[in-house]
């Protein structure tokens, strides 16, 4: 019987993380099939048939891939998202799908706030100008006394709320299932999506993907003129064309994103816009987040794999 576990997250692509030693101590052989990058479908079809476990990154795991891996018992993500996994196919084949809930929440929350501040103070273009030997000063905005809109108030969103309150902001949150027990000190309240868009000087997204973009042409039109938008959740939440139009006509002062439909993304006009900040999916890419996520993913693998059949 196979005892191999494939490890594909880019943060673990070279091995060496102490938590992985627990898998080897339990008798499993670790396979690092595509160091430094996501595996393709063709590569998954080659390495997964020999695996009992899959410590997976954000690559798609399709019905076809699962069908080619009859011995696979568990997929363990080193993050919280499972929209890249065909959950129906996994359930049909009896493959457990586990996540590292909350492991990267602080890292993503801090990045969202950093992107908001960088956008409102126009840090990237001024840095670029000085590096090009140009003295360019752009008047920015302070956040104290302004309103932050947080869409999605789960583990990440709640941290963003607290960070925003700590900066002296008023915070309004929209969540499909608001928790009445979440009552942080400061000017905070839940509200409707329409009210949030109309009030917020900055909007940050921390919700799961939907069937259609949450921030589409109508949503952008409903936003407060001069607002700043941050997306560290899912690329599919935002209609890129609507955002580009809003940047061009001045309704949006800026946009920042850490997430893309594919990684690395294809070049597009939006990402080259002077008021757009792009980061290469680094929300959870901190030493602390990687540590928490890896340990949680390994613990989930061992828990599932050591349950008697």
Distance CA 128, CA 136 (A): 9
Q: Which residues contact 119 (CB under 8 A, 6 or more apart)?
A: 202, 228, 230, 253, 254, 255, 256, 275, 277
E strands, 14-111, are: 29-31, 51-56, 74-77, 96-98
Q: Give the N- to C-terminal CA distance of the chain in Å, as an integer.
A: 13
Residue of 234, 251, 292, 295 marked catalytic: 234
Q: Considering just the CA atoms, what is the radius of gyration of the chain in Å? A: 21
Residue of 77, 228, 281, 292 marked catalytic: 281
Distance CA 92, CA 161 (A): 39
Q: Residue 234 catalytic?
A: yes
Residue of 43, 110, 263, 291 marked catalytic: 263
Residues in a beta bridge with 276 = 255
Q: Residue 281 catalytic?
A: yes
Q: Residue 137 catalytic?
A: no
Q: Which of 56, 43, 42 is nearest to 9 (CA)?
A: 56
Q: How far is CA 277 from its chain centroid? A: 15
* Residues known to be catalytic: 234, 263, 281
């Amino acid at each position: 019987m196979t005892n191999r576990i494939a490890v594909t997250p880019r943060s673990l692509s070279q091995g060496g993380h102490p938590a992985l030693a627990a898998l080897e101590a339990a008798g499993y052989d670790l396979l690092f099939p595509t160091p430094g990058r996501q595996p393709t479908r063709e590569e998954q079809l080659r390495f997964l048939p020999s695996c009992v476990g899959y410590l997976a990154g954000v690559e798609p795991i399709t019905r076809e891939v699962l069908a080619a891996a009859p011995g696979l018992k568990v997929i363990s993500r080193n993050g919280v998202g499972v929209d890249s996994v065909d959950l129906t196919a996994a359930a049909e084949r009896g493959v457990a799908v586990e996540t590292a809930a909350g492991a990267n929440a602080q890292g993503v929350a801090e990045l969202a706030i950093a992107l908001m501040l960088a956008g409102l103070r126009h840090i990237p273009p001024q840095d670029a100008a000085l590096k090009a030997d140009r003295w360019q000063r752009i008047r920015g905005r302070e956040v104290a006394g302004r309103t932050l809109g947080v869409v999605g108030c789960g583990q990440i969103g709640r941290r963003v709320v607290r960070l925003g309150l700590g900066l002296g902001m008023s915070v309004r949150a929209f969540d499909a299932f608001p928790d009445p027990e979440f009552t942080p000190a400061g000017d905070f309240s839940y509200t409707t999506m329409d009210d949030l868009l109309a009030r917020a000087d900055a909007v940050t997204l921390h919700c799961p993907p939907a069937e259609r973009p949450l921030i589409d042409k109508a949503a952008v039109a409903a936003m407060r003129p001069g607002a700043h938008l941050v997306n560290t959740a899912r690329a599919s939440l935002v209609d890129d064309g609507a955002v580009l139009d809003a940047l061009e006509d001045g309704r949006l002062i800026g946009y920042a994103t850490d997430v893309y439909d594919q990684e690395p993304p294809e070049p597009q006009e939006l990402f080259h816009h002077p008021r757009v900040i792009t980061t290469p999916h680094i929300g959870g890419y901190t030493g602390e987040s990687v540590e928490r996520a890896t340990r949680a993913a390994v613990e989930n693998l061992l828990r599932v794999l050591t349950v008697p059949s």
